């Protein structure tokens, strides 16, 4: 019978990763592995910053329930999904289990993952790179040390206390496009609009999730009046992309890590495109295992935010390379 294992990775970071809901100098992720003794596949489980400890405990308990319930091997993804549907678990863990099994199937059959998923291949993508919430005095050194100017776009983490002068300071040292990620830190549409008014002279690509994920009334007002495109993140987890989403946002950030699995993320992307929404694939702070997995479904997306592994002091897998703001599968180079 095939063997399922779960291990925890401690991932020290190059920087203090600070966003509106928390900060960390290291990240704890989980790796799910499935092996038949000859072939094996791995999948990464990554959690939102500031929520790791709670989700880690839940994921480990759910994995034990899943593991103890197994009585036979799975011979197809349908059989795996049937088993997963019978156990309560977070979408984060489900991603790790599904991707591990699919990666195993890829090695077993000799077919690449994209073929098994029925999606088009992509060999490289042009990602943004992130700037966490920093002291203004540290911006110049961060931009230099992280080689931010080699990327065509930067995603700037902010909170409700971030001043417009902070963004103007970034623009002083970095001349590419700026993508603002507020992680739900504003309370009203009015406060967001006042902030936007002060930064209209900057090269802003879009504003991501400025309001709380369920603050739909304020979000609808903001969508009508915002001078910038609005991208949903926390408002879209493992849920369906329904018509109402297009009334509140201009695009969606789909993260494989929180979607519930490859097939759920692919459906989210397709449904978003059918509604005329812009699509972005994003990531947590994760290794190149998680990043390469997301790249498998990245064809046709408008934006890419897959820099999570670049924040690590050391990536344990080496599956993705980076050069001049572009990412590529290491095995293709």
CATH code at 91? 3.30.390.10
Cα atoms in the Cβ-side hemisphere of radius 13 Å centred on 30: 28
d(CA 223, CA 218): 9
| Residues 318 and 203 placed together within one structural domain of the fold | yes
| Residues 218 and 74 placed together within one structural domain of the fold | no
Mean pLDDT of 87-110: 96
Q: 279 pLDDT band (50/70/90 cuts)?
A: very high
According to DSSP, residue 20 is labeled T
| Residues 220 and 240 placed together within one structural domain of the fold | yes
The pLDDT assigned to 222 comes to 97
DSSP codes of every residue in 220-258: HHHHHH-SSEEEESTT-SSS---TTHHHH-SEEEEEHHH
The pLDDT assigned to 243 comes to 87
Please provide the distance, in angstroms rounded to a whole number, between the alpha carbons at the two ends of the chain: 36
Q: Look at residue 184 and give its three-state secondary structure.
A: coil
The pLDDT assigned to 331 comes to 82
In contact, 277 and 223? CB cutoff 8 Å: no
Torsion of CA 268, 192, 207, 95, to 10 degrees: -40
The pLDDT assigned to 205 comes to 97
Spell out the residues 6+ positions from residue 290 whose beta carbon is closer than 8 angstroms to its own.
29, 44, 46, 256, 257, 283, 284, 308, 309
According to DSSP, residue 332 is labeled G
Q: Identify the domain boundary among 85, 112, 139.
A: 112
| Residues 63 and 142 placed together within one structural domain of the fold | no
Please check the confidence at residue 333 and state whether its pLDDT lies above 70: no
pLDDT in tens, 61-97: 999 999 999 988 999 999 999 999 999 999 999 999 9
| Residues 157 and 23 placed together within one structural domain of the fold | no
The full length of the chain comes to 333
Please check the confidence at residue 22 and state whether its pLDDT lies above 70: yes
Please check the confidence at residue 202 and state whether its pLDDT lies above 80: yes
Element (H, E) at 262: helix 262-274
Q: Identify the domain boundary among 86, 112, 138.
A: 112
The pLDDT assigned to 51 comes to 85
| Residues 49 and 180 placed together within one structural domain of the fold | no
| Residues 108 and 201 placed together within one structural domain of the fold | no
Q: Which of 3-17, 49-63, 170-184, 279-293 has the lowest mean pLDDT?
A: 49-63
| Residues 177 and 206 placed together within one structural domain of the fold | yes
Mean pLDDT of 132-141: 96
Specify which residues 41 forms β-bridges with.
34
Q: Which of 98-112, 163-177, 227-241, 263-277 has the lowest mean pLDDT?
A: 227-241
pLDDT in tens, 24-34: 999 999 999 99
Spell out the residues 6+ positions from residue 250 whose beta carbon is closer than 8 angstroms to its own.
206, 223, 229, 230, 231, 277, 278
Q: 185 pLDDT band (50/70/90 cuts)?
A: very high
In a domain, 76, yes or no: yes
| Residues 128 and 108 placed together within one structural domain of the fold | no
d(CA 36, CA 110): 15
The pLDDT assigned to 256 comes to 97
The pLDDT assigned to 299 comes to 97
The pLDDT assigned to 50 comes to 84
In a domain, 8, yes or no: yes
- Average per-residue pLDDT for the chain: 95
The pLDDT assigned to 240 comes to 84
In a domain, 118, yes or no: no
Q: Going edge to edge, which strands form the sheet with 22-35?
A: 3-19, 22-35, 40-45
Name the residue range of residue 148's domain.
124-332
Q: Identify the domain boundary among 78, 112, 146.
A: 112
Mean pLDDT of 259-279: 96
pLDDT in tens, 227-249: 999 999 999 877 788 888 899 99
| Residues 86 and 198 placed together within one structural domain of the fold | no
In contact, 80 and 72? CB cutoff 8 Å: no
Q: 21 pLDDT band (50/70/90 cuts)?
A: confident
Please state the domain count of the chain: 2
Within 70-209, residue ranges assigned H as helices are 77-84, 91-109, 113-117, 139-145, 164-173, 189-197
d(CA 288, CA 329): 9
In a domain, 251, yes or no: yes
| Residues 137 and 101 placed together within one structural domain of the fold | no
In contact, 331 and 304? CB cutoff 8 Å: no
In a domain, 117, yes or no: no
| Residues 161 and 105 placed together within one structural domain of the fold | no
Written as six digits, the tokens of 178 are 């700026």
The pLDDT assigned to 53 comes to 85
The pLDDT assigned to 40 comes to 98
CATH of the domain at 152: 3.20.20.120
What sign does the dihedral 186-190-194-200 (CA atoms) show?
positive
d(CA 77, CA 278): 29
What pTM was computed for the model? 0.96
d(CA 184, CA 208): 9
The pLDDT assigned to 159 comes to 94
């Amino acid at each position: 019978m095939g063997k399922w294992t779960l291990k925890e990775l401690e991932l020290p970071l190059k920087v203090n990763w600070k966003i509106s809901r928390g900060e960390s100098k290291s990240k704890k992720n989980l790796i799910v592995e499935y092996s038949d003794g000859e072939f094996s596949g791995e999948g990464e489980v990554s959690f939102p910053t500031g929520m790791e400890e709670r989700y880690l405990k839940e994921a480990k308990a759910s994995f034990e329930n899943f593991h103890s319930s197994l009585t036979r091997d799975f011979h197809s993804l349908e059989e795996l999904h049937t088993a997963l549907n019978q156990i309560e678990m977070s979408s984060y863990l489900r991603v790790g289990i599904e991707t591990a099994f699919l990666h195993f199937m890829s090695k077993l059959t000799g077919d690449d993952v994209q073929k098994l998923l029925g999606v088009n291949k992509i060999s490289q993508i042009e990602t943004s790179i992130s700037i966490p919430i920093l002291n203004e005095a540290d911006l110049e050194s961060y931009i230099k040390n992280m080689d931010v100017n080699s990327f065509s776009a930067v995603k700037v983490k902010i909170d409700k206390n971030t001043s417009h002068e902070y963004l103007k300071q970034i623009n002083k040292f970095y001349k590419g496009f700026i993508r603002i990620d507020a992680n739900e830190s504003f309370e009203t549409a009015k406060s967001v609009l006042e902030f936007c008014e002060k930064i209209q002279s900057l090269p802003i690509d879009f504003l991501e999730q400025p309001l709380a994920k369920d603050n739909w009334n304020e979000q609808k007002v903001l969508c009508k009046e915002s001078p910038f495109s609005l991208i949903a993140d926390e408002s879209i987890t493992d849920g369906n992309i329904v018509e109402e989403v297009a009334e509140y946002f201009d695009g969606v950030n789909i993260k494989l890590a929180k979607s519930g699995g490859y097939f759920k993320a692919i459906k989210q992307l397709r449904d978003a495109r059918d509604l005329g929404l812009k699509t972005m694939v994003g990531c947590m702070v994760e290794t190149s295992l998680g990043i390469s997995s997301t790249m498998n479904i990245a064809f046709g997306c408008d934006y890419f935010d897959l820099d999570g592994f670049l924040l690590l002091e050391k990536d344990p897998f080496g599956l993705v390379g980076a050069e001049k703001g572009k990412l590529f599968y290491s095995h293709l180079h």
